[in-house]
Amino acid sequence: QLILEEEEMIDFVSTQEEPTLSQADLKKQSIQEVRRSLPIFPFREDLLRAITQHQILVIEGETGSGKTTQIPQYLMEDVSLKLLLIRSGLPRRVAAMSVAARVAEETGVKLGNEVGYSIRFEDCTSERTVLKYMTDGMLLREFLTEPDLASYSVVIIDEAHERTLHTDILFGLIKDIARFRSDLKVLVASATLDTERFSCFFDDAPVFRIPGRRFPVDIFYTKAPEADYLEACVVSVLQIHVTQAPGDCLVFLTGQEEIEACCEMLQERCRRLGSKIAELVVLPIYANLPSDMQAKIFSPTPPGARKVVVATNIAETSLTIDGIIYVIDPGFCKQKSYNARTGMESLIVTPCSRASANQRAGRAGRVAAGKCFRLYTAWAFKHEMEETTIPEIQRTNLGNVVLLLKSLGINDLIHFDFMDPPPHETLVLALEQLYALGALNHLGELTKMGRRMAELPVDPMLSKMILASEQYKCSEEVLTIAAMLSVNNSIFYRPKDKVVHADNARMNFTVPGGDHLVLLNVYNQWVESGFSTQWCYENFIQFRSMRRARDVRDQLEGLMERIEVEVVSSLEDSVPIRKAITAGYFYHTARLSKGGYKTVKHQQTVYVHPNSSLFEEQPRWLIYHELVFTTKEFMRQVIEIDSGWLLEVAPHYYKSKELEDSSSKKMPRKQGKTKDELG
Ligand code: ADP
Ligand code: MG
């Protein structure tokens, strides 16, 4: 029963003898049985005792052992602890939502009552909430309203091994607070990575180890490198499906686009094979996936079928899906990378670390002996991958956290207690950028503008754009643009079988000026349609993304009152809108030069993304929202600007000399006029 063509098969070599697969025992257990079966359960009493005895405790346990879901419940069940509030900070919004839902179910309460979650632009808690799961970013923002965390009794920094930027900053702040809040309990939970370092950082806090329960995982490598890992994933899944014993499959890809493409390819091939193969249930999971879709990955696999979950590295340690026996790991992840010299941040698909690869493989051995298929060679594993992932703090723009720390009154950032300090030049650059944005004065102190910017839970450039809209009297429009940008890249729907229709529909939204204005146009037409689902469907717009944009917009609009920005509309003129965008994003200016664009300050070569409405037009001056590196450095979401605006919005950053067009035959039309206006 050979279904795959011979040449399509992928050659794997095993590093070990092949074990006989014991079949996963997936019989239905009651929720309480499941709770009692978790590796952490036998240590419940010991753990509670350790928490009572120590102010700071590091808890180490294999992923899936029950740290995230069980520890807060143990605390709530223990009446002797007299709890006020428990906050659990997690690196990912999907994880916060899904774990909160799970724990609410386990404790038999309605989500949002005693157990709730809080993620950016979405709060699902109430007066009654005792246990709040939140993203580490939201936990960090809580310091703004409650600098001493007075209402907390326990704070959990979960998934500490992820070493996100926010987690690292929380470490420093919480360590400091714990010194004068002796009643505050601090728990640092981590997978089996790096725990000694956490203990060391928290003045030798004890480490509580939950012994792992793990079945052997046999690791396979490809004989030769795979040219197309997406295709290789699809083939591998089908290969497993037709040749291997029952058990679900987990595939690690780098992002939404890839995941959707992979799912489509799998579904398409299964359709073609029809009844020749058993049912394959294909499920995606990534950060922007709507929560009802997310929940599906946890539903049991129908008898006779096989489930395949296609995930980002969210499934590496944040979420545990029961029943996984096979893991397919192409060995890549999407990482933020930051150039401290140029200040350019971009998302790059890079090889993951060996530590990540081992975590991924470990997911196959939770319920039975498993197999992990690595779509790279054993040589690449040894020689081409880094040992561990570099902490985010060392490869990201720090503007956001610097602004936050400044508003918490922490002025001396050089001496802040970082577990791994960021590169000096990154800190300096963040300070310079905040100065150029007007958030700091020349002494490095927070300005009134900076204080208002910090109130908005978005990046400094985006907050500046929103605040600048006040001056240009176009806050209605700019709020919409900000909201649409925040659900970035998931507005337009482009199914493989209807590419032409989808592209035509997209073209119909084109307006002069650039992509931000296209997004505004889409939103406004949707409002006119009465927020219609049907309208979205007809126009190849993703309804869910629009709904989310509306939620984000509502939230931002709610905050406008607090920072005293009047919400008004600039009727029918896009110049004020584009000026407001420029006021926030003047760093991201690029100028047309032979064959592509060059960034103004650093002469870096960049290109307009093919999806952009300005792809063919190639205006002389552009501002981009973000850079993505795929085959080359692409600017995603661009608008056309007049170079004179740069002098208007960022006079201490740009000098008119830099903006002269040495090569040009004709000067941009409006430049002369704008200069006159400036006097
Ligand atoms: P850890 O934090 O140690 O990695 P968790 O507490 O996240 O472990 O997971 C413990 C168990 O709870 C796992 O078996 C996992 O499958 C289950 N679980 C977690 N979240 C959900 C969910 N949303 N739905 C169903 N089961 C879940
Ligand atoms: Mg966890």
Detail the DSSP E strand segments found in 414-503. Answer: none
Query: pLDDT tens-digit profile of 464-508?
Result: 999 999 999 999 999 999 999 988 677 998 887 889 999 999 999
> Rounded CA gap, 217 and 588, in Å?
47
Task: Kindly state the helix (H) or strand (E) to which residue 311 belongs, with its residue range.
Answer: strand 306-311
pLDDT over 70 at 2, yes or no? no
> For residue 64, which ligand has an atom nearest its CA?
1
Question: Does the beta carbon of 38 sit less than 6 angstroms from any atom of ligand 1?
Answer: yes
Question: Does the beta carbon of 106 sit less than 6 angstroms from any atom of ligand 1?
Answer: no
Among 340-344, 512-516, 580-584, the minimum mean pLDDT is found in 340-344
Residue with tokens 């925040």: 486
Say which DSSP state 634 is in.
Answer: E
Query: pLDDT tens-digit profile of 116-171?
Result: 999 988 899 999 999 999 999 999 999 988 988 888 889 999 999 989 999 999 99
Residues with CB under 5 Å of ion ligand 2 are: 67-68
> For residue 91, which ligand has an atom nearest its CA?
2
**Which amino acid appears at position 286 of this protein?**
Y
Nearest CA to ligand 1 atom 17: 320
pLDDT band at 661 (very low <50, low <70, confident <90, very high): low
Question: Average pLDDT of 370-386?
Answer: 95
Question: Average pLDDT of 594-620?
Answer: 90
Nearest to 209 by CA among 190, 228, 236, 237: 190
> Rounded CA gap, 260 and 310, in Å?
9
- Choice from 193, 320, 321 to test ligand 1 binding pocket (greatest atom count within 8 A of CB): 320
Nearest CA to ligand 1 atom 7: 68
Nearest CA to ligand 1 atom 22: 102
CB 309 within 8 A of CB 285: yes
Q: What is the pLDDT, as a whole number, of residue 671? A: 41
Question: Does the beta carbon of 99 sit less than 6 angstroms from any atom of ligand 1?
Answer: yes
CA of residue 319 to ligand 1 center, whole Å:
6
Ligand 1 atom nearest 34 alpha carbon? 14
Q: What is the pLDDT, as a whole number, of residue 83? A: 58
Q: What is the pLDDT, as a whole number, of residue 3? A: 47
pLDDT over 60 at 662, yes or no? no
Q: What is the pLDDT, as a whole number, of residue 14? A: 65
Question: Does the beta carbon of 157 sit less than 6 angstroms from any atom of ligand 1?
Answer: no
Question: Does the beta carbon of 101 sit less than 6 angstroms from any atom of ligand 1?
Answer: yes
Q: What is the pLDDT, as a whole number, of residue 82? A: 58
CA of residue 222 to ligand 1 center, whole Å:
31
pLDDT over 60 at 19, yes or no? no
Q: What is the pLDDT, as a whole number, of residue 11? A: 72
pLDDT over 50 at 290, yes or no? yes
pTM: 0.83
CA of residue 336 to ligand 1 center, whole Å:
27
The overall average pLDDT reported for the chain is 88
Please provide residue 3's backbone torsions phi and psi, each rounded to the nearest 5 degrees. Answer: -100, -35
> How are beta strands 122-124 and 280-285 bridged, if at all?
unpaired
pLDDT over 60 at 409, yes or no? yes
Question: Does the beta carbon of 64 sit less than 6 angstroms from any atom of ligand 1?
Answer: yes
Q: What is the pLDDT, as a whole number, of residue 516? A: 97
Among 76-80, 294-298, 441-445, the minimum mean pLDDT is found in 76-80
Question: Does the beta carbon of 190 sit less than 6 angstroms from any atom of ligand 1?
Answer: no
Nearest to 40 by CA among 69, 75, 6, 10: 69
> Rounded CA gap, 87 and 72, in Å?
9
Among 276-285, 560-569, 591-600, 663-672, the minimum mean pLDDT is found in 663-672
pLDDT over 90 at 535, yes or no? yes
Instruction: Look at 294 and 85; give whichever has higher pLDDT.
Output: 294
Query: pLDDT tens-digit profile of 350-375?
Result: 999 999 999 999 999 988 899 999 99
pLDDT band at 47 (very low <50, low <70, confident <90, very high): very high
Q: What is the pLDDT, as a whole number, of residue 192? A: 77
Locate all alpha helices (DSSP H) within 456-498, ordered by sequence.
460-471, 475-486
pLDDT band at 668 (very low <50, low <70, confident <90, very high): very low
Q: What is the pLDDT, as a whole number, of residue 666? A: 43
- Choice from 102, 187, 214, 309 to test ligand 1 binding pocket (greatest atom count within 8 A of CB): 102
Question: Does the beta carbon of 65 sit less than 6 angstroms from any atom of ligand 1?
Answer: yes
Q: What is the pLDDT, as a whole number, of residue 79? A: 63
Cα dist. 497→261, 283, 505 in Å?
12, 20, 14
CA of residue 270 to ligand 1 center, whole Å:
30
> How are beta strands 207-210 and 217-222 bridged, if at all?
unpaired
pLDDT band at 217 (very low <50, low <70, confident <90, very high): very high
